[in-house]
Amino acid sequence: MVSKSLSDWLDYAERQHVNAIELGLDRVRAVAAALGVRQTCPVILVGGTNGKGSTCAMLEAILRAAGYRVGLYTSPHLVRYTERIRINGAEVSEEALCEAFAEIDSARGETPLTYFEIGTLAAWQVFSKSSLDVIILEVGMGGRLDAVNVFEPDCSIVTGVAIDHTDFLGTTREQIGYEKAGIFRPARPAICSDPNPPESLVKHARLIGADLRLIGRDFSYKGDRQQWSFVGRSMNRNSLAYPALRGANQLLNASAVLAALETLADRLPVSMQAVREGLLHVELTGRFQVLPGRPTVILDVAHNPQSIGVLAENISNLGYAPETYAVVGMLSDKDVVGSISLIARRVDHWLACSLPGPRGLSGDALAAKLREAGVAGDIEVCDGPTAGLNRAKERAQPDDRIAVFGSFLTVSDVLQSSGRH
C-alpha cells in the first residue's frame, strides 16, 4: 500500500465516503484512537470565516523566528496537496504523506472517512514523527464538527464571522458563530478578533467557562504610518513593523496572534525581536498578493461578501489607476450577487471566467450574475481564469491594474499556468 503514489492516495481518499463533506467527529475520533494519537506539545486551533490563513501564517512565522519547531496544517491548497502540511516552513514530502495515508487506511477498518478527515489525520501522523514544539491547525469548515476539533487546543482563535457555507453552518451570523465557537474549551484561552462577535459565540464561551478574550475589550491595537502597537491583558508589544501581508484587515489578524501568544507565554515565550522578524517576513500566497511587473496584477482568494468587501477596500488603498480589470471565477453555492455588489464600483472591465467541476459557474452564468449585481463596466466571457488574465493583459495599459479573485480555484489556475508558486 505504501508504494502508491500521492496522486493514487488522493484519488483513493476521495472515494472512501459517499459524501465529499460530512461534518462530525465520531469517525475521526474512532480512527484517531486506533492510531494511538497522543498530544505532546501545545496545539493552537484557528477558525473563522475569513482571515484564518493569514493568522496561521503569522503564528508560524513568529514562532519559527523564536526558534521553535512548528507544524502547520491548512486548507485548501492552491497548487500542490503538500502545501497543506508544513514542518518548520517546508512542505511535507510526498513519501512521508504516503506513509501516513497507509497508516490511516490500515487503522480505519470499515470506518468511512472523508477526504478532509483523512488529510487531517495524515497531517497529525506526520507531525507526531517530527519532534515539534507547537502545532497549528486551521479549521476547514465551521469548527464544532470539523475534523481538527478532535484535537485538544491549548488556545483557540476565531477570526471574523461572516455568512458562508450556509448549507452546512446555518444562514445567520448567530448560527455560524455558534459553530465557530465549538473550538473553544473550558478554562482554555479563546481568542476572537471579530470587532462585532456574534452573541452566540460570546454566550457559548461563557457557558463552557472558556477564557474568552475579545478585541476591543481584552486586547487592542493602534498605529501610525510607520509602526503599530499591541495592548493585551498583561503584555504590550510596541514599535512593531506592519505585517508583510498586505491588506487593511491584517492588524486584526496580527492582534489575535499576539493575544494568543500572550496566553501561551509560559510555555512558548516569544521575544519582541521574534515578533518583529516574523511579521516582517511572513508570506501567504494568494492573499492580496501583488505580482511584480506592469500592469499591476493582484491575486486574492476572496470568495464571499466579507472577503470581497475587504478586497475592494484594499484596492482603493492602492491609489489611483486609470482602469481596473476584474478577472473573476466563482462557485455556484456562493453569494455571487452580494459579493460582487461590494466591489462593483471599483472595477471598470470584467472578465467572467468559467470554473470546472459541478460547483463551478460557467462564464455565461457568472456574467448573468454580474449584470444582476448591477456592474457598470463591460463584461467579457472567458474559458477560464488563465484565459481571462491573458485577455486582461492584452487590453490593459501599463498603468492599469488587474484583480484576479472569486475562488481558490481561480487563483490556483493562474498560479499553475504562470509557474509562480
pLDDT, one tens digit per residue, over 336-370 is: 999 999 999 999 999 999 999 989 999 999 999 99
Query: Are 6-281 and 289-418 in the same CATH fold?
Result: no
Q: Which of 148-162, 234-248, 254-268 is predicted with the least confidence, judged by mean pLDDT?
A: 234-248
**Residue pLDDT, tens place only, 75-100:** 999 999 999 999 999 999 999 999 99
**Residue 38: is it exposed, middle or buried by C-beta count within 10 angstroms (0-12/13-18/19+)?**
exposed
Q: Check whether 417 has a pLDDT greater than 90.
A: no
Question: With the C-alpha atoms ordered 253, 258, 263, 266, is the resulting torsion angle positive or negative?
Answer: positive
Beta bridge partners of 71: 87, 135
Each domain of the chain, given as residue ranges in start order, spans 6-281, 289-418
Structure confidence at residue 181 (pLDDT): 97
Cis preceding linkage at 295, omega within 30? yes
All three cell numbers of 110, joined, read 470499515
Count helices and strands in the chain by DSSP H and E runs: 15, 17
Q: What is the mean pLDDT of the chain?
A: 94
Q: 387-417 burial by CB neighbour count: b if 16+ within 10 A, else e? A: bbbbbbbebbeeebbbbbbbbebbbbbbbee
Which segments of 329-387 are extended strands (E)? 349-353, 378-382
Phi then psi dihedrals of residue 265, to 5 deg: -60, -30
Express as a percent the part of the chain with pLDDT over 70. 99
CB contact at 8 A, 404 and 302 = no
Q: Which of 114-118, 197-201, 315-319 is predicted with the least confidence, judged by mean pLDDT?
A: 315-319
Query: Topology of domain 289-418, per CATH?
Result: Protein-Tyrosine Phosphatase; Chain A (3.90.190)
CB contact at 8 A, 354 and 330 = no
pLDDT-derived band at 2, boundaries 50, 70, 90: very low
**Structure pTM?**
0.91
**Residue pLDDT, tens place only, 86-139:** 999 999 999 999 999 999 999 999 999 999 999 999 999 999 999 999 999 999
Domain 6-281 CATH class label: alpha beta
